[in-house]
Structure 1
Amino acid sequence: MTETKAGQPVGEAKPRRRQARGERRIQQLLDAAANVFCRTGYTSASTNAIAREAGVSPGTLYQFFPNKEAIAVELGERLTNQMREAHGVVFTPEYAALPLGDMLDAVVDPLVEFNCQNPVFLTLIHSGDIPGIMTEDHDALHVALHARIEELIGFIQPKLPPERRTRTATMTFSLFKAGLELVLAHEGEEQAAYIEELKASLHGYLAPIIGTEAPSRAP
Structure 2
Amino acid sequence: MSEKTEPDKTEKEQPRRRQARGERRIAQLLQAAAQVFCTSGYTAASTNAIAREAGVSPGTLYQFFPNKEAIAIELGDRLMHEMRETYGEALAPVDPATPLEEAIGSAVDRFMAFNTDHPVFFALMHGPDIPGRMAEAHDQLHTTVIGRIEILLASLMPGAPPADVTRTAHVCLGVYKAGLELVLAHEGAERAAYVQEVKDVLIRYLEPLVGGRFGRT
TM over 0.5: yes
Alpha-carbon deviation of 1:213?
Answer: 5.0
Cα deviations across residues 20-68 of structure 1 (Å, max 9, x unaligned)? 1111100100000000111111111111110010000111000000001
Runs of 4+ with >6 A deviation: none
Is 1:146–1:169's contact at 8 Å kept on the other side of the alignment?
yes
Partner of 1:45: 45
Residue 153 to residue 83, structure 1, CA distance change in 2 (3 Å): same
Alpha-carbon deviation of 1:155?
Answer: 1.6
For structure 1, which runs of at least 5 residues remain unmatched after alignment?
A: 5-9
Amino acid paired to 2:187: E
Structure 2 Cα separation of the partners of residues 128 and 200 of structure 1: 30
Identity %: 56
Residue 95 to residue 67, structure 1, CA distance change in 2 (3 Å): farther
Is 1:98–1:213's contact at 8 Å kept on the other side of the alignment?
no
Is 1:65–1:71's contact at 8 Å kept on the other side of the alignment?
yes
Q: Structure 2 length as normaliser, TM-score? A: 0.92
Partner of 1:109: 109
1:127 matched to 2:132? The reply is no
Cα deviations across residues 150-195 of structure 1 (Å, max 9, x unaligned)? 1000122222221111111111111111111111111111110000
Partner of 2:3: none
Alpha-carbon deviation of 1:132?
Answer: 3.2
Partner of 1:7: none
Structure 2 Cα separation of the partners of residues 176 and 29 of structure 1: 30
Structure 1 Cα separation of the partners of residues 24 and 95 of structure 2: 36
CA RMSD of aligned residues (A): 1.6
**Of 129-138 and 198-207, the range deviating more from structure 2:** 129-138
Partner of 2:196: 196
Residue 2 to residue 22, structure 1, CA distance change in 2 (3 Å): same
Residue 52 to residue 147, structure 1, CA distance change in 2 (3 Å): same
Aligned positions, number: 210
Amino acid paired to 2:172: T
